[in-house]
Structure 1
Amino acid sequence: MKTRPEPTAAEPSTTPTSTPTTRRRRRRGINSGESRGAWILLAPYMLLFAVAAFIPIVYAFYTALQKSPTLVNPESGFGGFHSFLTVFKDYRFFDTFGNILTVLAVWLPVMIVAIVALALMVDASRGRFGRAMRFIYYIPGALAGIANFVLWVYLLNPALSPLGPLWEALGMDTLKEVVTDGHMPLILSAMLLFQGIGTWIVIVIGGLNGISDEVLEAAALDGASAWQLAWKVKLPLIRPWIGYAALMNLAYGFQLFLEPYLLRQVSAGSIDAQWTPNQLGYAFAFDNRDFPAAAAMSIILLAITLGIGMLIVFRSGLFGDEGKKS
Structure 2
Amino acid sequence: MKSTGNSKTPYLFIAPALILLSLFSLLPIAVALMISFTDINLSSLADWSAINFIGLQNYLDVVKDPIFVKSILNTLFYVVFGVPFVIICSLSIALLINFGKARIFKAFRVIFYMPSITNVVAVAVVWSYLYNPQYGLFNYLLKLIQLPAVPWLTDPVIAKISLIILALWRAIGLNMIIFLAAIQGIPRTYYEAAELDGAGHFRQIFSITLPLLRYAIFFVSVTTMIGWLQFFEEPFVMTKGGPLDSTTSVALFIYRNGFQQSNFGYAAAGSFVLFIAIIVITLIQFKFTRKEADI
TM-score by length of 2: 0.83
Residue 268 (structure 2) pairs with residue 290 (structure 1): no
Structure 2: distance between partners of 1:217 and 1:107: 36
What's the offset of the Cα at 1:97? 0.6
How many percent of aligned residue pairs carry the same amino acid? 24
Tell me: CA distance 1:233–1:184, structure 2 relative to 1, closer, same or farther (3 Å).
same
Residue 201 (structure 2) pairs with residue 226 (structure 1): yes
Tell me: CA distance 1:274–1:131, structure 2 relative to 1, closer, same or farther (3 Å).
closer
What's the offset of the Cα at 1:36? 7.5
Q: 2:210 aligns with which of 235, 239, 247?
A: 235
The 5-angstrom pairing of residues 57-76 of structure 1 reads 57-68=29-40, 75-76=50-51
Structure 2: distance between partners of 1:110 and 1:244: 15
What's the offset of the Cα at 1:224? 2.7
Residue 180 (structure 2) pairs with residue 205 (structure 1): yes
Residue 279 (structure 2) pairs with residue 306 (structure 1): yes
Structure 1: distance between partners of 2:52 and 2:214: 48
Tell me: CA distance 1:274–1:90, structure 2 relative to 1, closer, same or farther (3 Å).
farther
Tell me: CA distance 1:127–1:39, structure 2 relative to 1, closer, same or farther (3 Å).
farther
Query: Residue 111 of structure 1 corresponds to which residue in structure 2?
Result: 86
What's the offset of the Cα at 1:79? 2.1
Residue 163 (structure 2) pairs with residue 188 (structure 1): yes
Point out the more displaced range, 43-52 or 78-87: 43-52
What's the offset of the Cα at 1:241? 1.4
Question: Cα deviation per residue 1:191-249 (whole Å; 9 max; x = unaligned)?
Answer: 00111212211111011111123333333334332112111111111122112222222
Counterpart of 1:185, as a letter, is: K
Aligned 8 A contact 1:122 1:130 in 2: yes
Structure 1: distance between partners of 2:214 and 2:52: 48
The 5-angstrom pairing of residues 17-32 of structure 1 reads none
Query: Residue 20 of structure 1 corresponds to which residue in structure 2?
Result: none
Structure 2: distance between partners of 1:108 and 1:146: 21
Partner secondary structure for residue 54 of structure 1: helix
Q: 1:151 aligns with which of 109, 114, 126?
A: 126
Aligned 8 A contact 1:106 1:185 in 2: no
Structure 2: distance between partners of 1:282 and 1:138: 29
Structure 2: distance between partners of 1:163 and 1:287: 33
Query: Residue 83 of structure 1 corresponds to which residue in structure 2?
Result: 58
Query: Residue 190 of structure 2 corresponds to which residue in structure 1?
Result: 215
Structure 1: distance between partners of 2:212 and 2:164: 28
Residue 75 (structure 2) pairs with residue 100 (structure 1): yes
Structure 2: distance between partners of 1:103 and 1:288: 25
Aligned 8 A contact 1:208 1:234 in 2: yes
**Consecutive unaligned residues in structure 2, runs of 5 or more:** none
Counterpart of 2:271, as a letter, is: S
Structure 2: distance between partners of 1:126 and 1:39: 49
What's the offset of the Cα at 1:157? 1.1
Tell me: CA distance 1:273–1:51, structure 2 relative to 1, closer, same or farther (3 Å).
farther
Aligned 8 A contact 1:247 1:312 in 2: yes
Q: 1:169 aligns with which of 139, 147, 161?
A: 147
Residue 238 (structure 2) pairs with residue 277 (structure 1): no
Aligned 8 A contact 1:179 1:263 in 2: no
Tell me: CA distance 1:224–1:179, structure 2 relative to 1, closer, same or farther (3 Å).
same
**Consecutive unaligned residues in structure 1, runs of 5 or more:** 1-24
The 5-angstrom pairing of residues 257-276 of structure 1 reads 257-264=232-239, 270-272=243-245, 275-276=248-249
Counterpart of 1:313, as a letter, is: F
Partner secondary structure for residue 159 of structure 1: coil
Tell me: CA distance 1:39–1:119, structure 2 relative to 1, closer, same or farther (3 Å).
farther
Q: 1:49 aligns with which of 21, 25, 29?
A: 21
Partner secondary structure for residue 163 of structure 1: helix
Q: 1:131 aligns with which of 80, 88, 106?
A: 106
Structure 2: distance between partners of 1:126 and 1:248: 31
User: 1 or 2 for the larger relative contact order (CA 8 Å, sep ≥6)?
Assistant: 2
Aligned 8 A contact 1:180 1:271 in 2: no
Partner secondary structure for residue 31 of structure 2: helix
Counterpart of 1:311, as a letter, is: I
Structure 1: distance between partners of 2:166 and 2:57: 37
Tell me: CA distance 1:228–1:135, structure 2 relative to 1, closer, same or farther (3 Å).
same
What's the offset of the Cα at 1:127? 5.9
